[in-house]
A and B are shown apart, each in its own frame.
Chain A
């Protein structure tokens, strides 16, 4: 029997990159296919071709053995293909029902009937959606369910999900996996785009691994293991950076926040009751679902966000009212979560990006001018030390891959953050090779005595690197724990806001 959907020899070039070359694979009815690969491996692109968002330069798509031409998402939907993008396509000001029927109703809308259909579908899969609630007021996990029901409403038989667990707590992820199993039991198929090995092993029947735009492996899930998959993904084995702990050194306090809060008028507080200290050489982790005050906490420490109350001390000195520039010169480095927005100037060269944080420093000046010789020498050193793949200091930052851009930011912040480094999800969206590189650097810097505040949504990262872990939820800490005292289950509950005050350290 012909497979449900089949791609044959799909190739797609963008101006600067080959996104897909000669990609061929198929999916059967009732199957969960995981599309695994590092960021930039071409997973999303090939799925966008199947969904009609992009047109392939060459190649064919077959459905049940018959060739199909998919030129738009509309064509795809007619064939029963739906795709849930990484960034949801919902209208926040509309209700759940309105969002779900959007684009699929004509003439006078029979709201009651639509509403009943939405409720029926959501009940069938145990989603329990509030049909009349505005989407904007729903949590991200619930919004995702709205997207799923939207696909079900269209009688989807092939559901494509792009990195669906990135925004979810471990519990929510578990529920999503349960849905996927339930959905495929009825003969439907799911393609799961991800770079997380654990999910793949948990949910997939078959796994297609992509590397550099091409298929690197096509295996049944029960015939492989995580090690083989990771080898296929990056083409070489990863050495996991693990913290070796030297206990018992006496360490002074480097950073101290007492009673810090940030409130804006008529809003829930962005941060409240934040109390913690970081010792010299300590890696202090902040775990939590993103959007719970992590960015604000980093902003408060680097000086971009003024506090409403409380005090911040660095090495005993009160820096609560010092400017960003003063704090940089005191040795606070900051790797922001969004390097495109906050960390780099993409149309400037690497060398120019290297002096971004220290543009006032006299060392870059030679008379009236910028000391380009020194700047280029230091940039070349950074390219070497951090194994940044770039032709030279004159390369525009925008031409580098995401991982290499992040290494540039890291190199710069390592140089200027001599006392403390704030790292907000420093490995977000990077491939395993780059992640490993960055983890090694973080450990090396902490060994030199720098204190590190590591914000991450990846629990494995937090567990691998941190000495102590604070869980943040709605702008407040759910507690601060030594790493050994936490398990994945417990941290998951804390991240979802279920407190457990008895065992907290403070």
Chain B
């Protein structure tokens, strides 16, 4: 176990550094000194509390969407529609917040909004799960397409019922401070949604590995035929897994609307569903691993932004995507490296045993 943990830390570190090194090579082609750029962004990030807070702020919704993908993945199902479930959560978050704003105490409002967003995302998820379980629909396609349906619904609502009082832009009225998620650290934008995300990840881990329901979800995911002979109904598990997965993605809508944007605008965080998917794979769908992988992605995001604003040089903003892409490729490749190390170790100990 110890050797395995060591392998994991070392191989992941190598993977991240290799990914950054390759990105740096690309900067070199633009006649920019990568060491300078990385040094500048890292120094700024760690010396400025506001910027450091941004890292965790950016990680928060990613934790939720990554958990959403990881959860169905454990049941060998694919929820590609976290983006849509997030939008649904965001629509409900802003609607309920605007309705209750100023009428109930902040704590009551936030709790109500949280429950409603989870329910909204969960409903979309459960519908996908139901279509799969009852009618054998391909959950991969249905969930992917559901995003566009919800997106269209959101755009429609932003132009009609949810349109701001001024009637100028397709966006909602802003929430008053009473509906904001409280800040975690003064002087930063980091709000308690980050804590909620971390706690949710722990809760998902407990649900998956410590409860009979999670056990059944994993059985269906690992061996559906054995599950059937054990009297576990794969159909039920499918609906439940999608319900929970959708609820997790929906919660991202809550933290983003009430914690960051404080209103709903068009083209709101369009990439977090896809990023969550990548992060979940990066973390091998492990709920605790998702936390670290999300923070890593938040960090790369902030670093990219800082480099883009670096005085004196012009680094394209796509450096963020570049770094995230390279790091992801190498972290996934490192799984194979770890397997190889493990195999070699076992083989060697066997050969030693045989020689004696």
Contact = CB atoms under 8 A, between A and B. Distances in A.
Contact of A360 (B210, B212, B226, B343): B212
B354 A352 contact: no
A364 B212 contact: yes
B204 to A, nearest CB: 14
A357 B210 contact: no
Interface in B197-223: 206, 210-212, 215-216, 218-219, 222-223
Contacts of A328: 230-231
Interface residues of A, number: 39
Given A360-B212, A370-B212, A13 B231 contact: no
A360 B237 CA distance: 13
A334 B218 contact: no
Contact of A346 (B210, B223, B232): B223
Contacts of A372: 210
B222 A13 contact: no
Contact of A15 (B226, B232, B346): B346
Given A21-B354, A359-B215, A341 B226 contact: yes
B230 A357 contact: yes
Given A348-B219, A355-B215, A356-B219, A13 B230 contact: no
B337 to A, nearest CB: 15
Residue among A17, A325, A341, A356 with the most chain B CB within 10 A? A356
Nearest to A339: B226
Contacts of A15: 342-343, 346-347
A260 interface: no
A113 interface: no
Interface residues of B, number: 25
Contacts of A347: 222
Contacts of B354: 11, 13, 18, 21
A323 interface: yes
B228 A370 contact: no
B351 interface: yes
B225 interface: yes
B230 A359 contact: yes
A226 to B, nearest CB: 31
A40 interface: no
A17 B353 CA distance: 11
Given A15-B347, A18-B350, A21-B354, A359 B216 contact: yes
A302 interface: yes
B226 A17 contact: no
A242 B339 CA distance: 46
Nearest to A17: B350
B350 A342 contact: no
Contacts of A345: 218-219, 222-223, 226
User: Main secondary structure on chain B at its contact with chain A?
Assistant: helix
B228 A304 contact: yes
Nearest to B209: A370
A449 B312 CA distance: 87
Contacts of B343: 15
Given A356-B219, A365-B212, A304 B350 contact: no
Given A342-B226, A346-B223, A365-B212, A323 B350 contact: no
Contacts of B3: none
Interface string A285-321: 0000000000000000011100000000000000000
Contacts of B111: none
A386 to B, nearest CB: 19
B148 to A, nearest CB: 35
A336 to B, nearest CB: 6
A324 B231 contact: yes
Nearest to A344: B226
A356 to B, nearest CB: 5
Contacts of A352: 215
B347 A13 contact: yes
A344 B227 CA distance: 9
Given A17-B350, A369-B211, A348 B218 contact: yes
Contacts of A304: 228-229
Interface string A1-27: 000000000010111111001000000
Interface in B64-102: none
A343 interface: yes
Residue among B210, B231, B233, B354 with the most chain A CB within 10 A? B231
A344 B350 contact: no
A356 B229 CA distance: 9
B351 A13 contact: yes
A360 B231 contact: yes
Interface in B281-295: none
Contact of A334 (B206, B210, B229, B342): B229
A368 interface: yes
B3 to A, nearest CB: 15
Contacts of B351: 13, 18
A11 B354 CA distance: 10
A243 B215 CA distance: 40
B347 to A, nearest CB: 5
Interface string A321-337: 00111111000001010
Residue among B211, B212, B215, B230 with the most chain A CB within 10 A? B230
Contacts of A364: 212
B231 A323 contact: yes
Contact of A302 (B216, B229, B232, B342): B229
B313 to A, nearest CB: 49
Nearest to A362: B212
A341 B225 contact: yes
Contacts of A357: 230-231
Interface string B233-255: 10000000000000000000000
B74 to A, nearest CB: 12
Contacts of B342: 15
B115 to A, nearest CB: 19
Contacts of B228: 304, 324
Interface in B304-356: 342-343, 346-347, 350-351, 354
Interface of B: 206, 210-212, 215-216, 218-219, 222-223, 225-226, 228-233, 342-343, 346-347, 350-351, 354
Given A13-B351, A304-B228, 20 more contacts: A16-B346, A17-B350, A18-B350, A303-B231, A304-B229, A323-B231, A328-B231, A341-B223, A345-B218, A345-B219, A345-B222, A345-B223, A346-B222, A348-B218, A348-B222, A359-B215, A359-B219, A359-B232, A360-B231, A369-B211
14 contacts: A15-B343, A15-B346, A16-B346, A17-B350, A324-B228, A341-B226, A345-B223, A352-B215, A355-B215, A356-B226, A357-B231, A359-B212, A370-B210, A370-B215
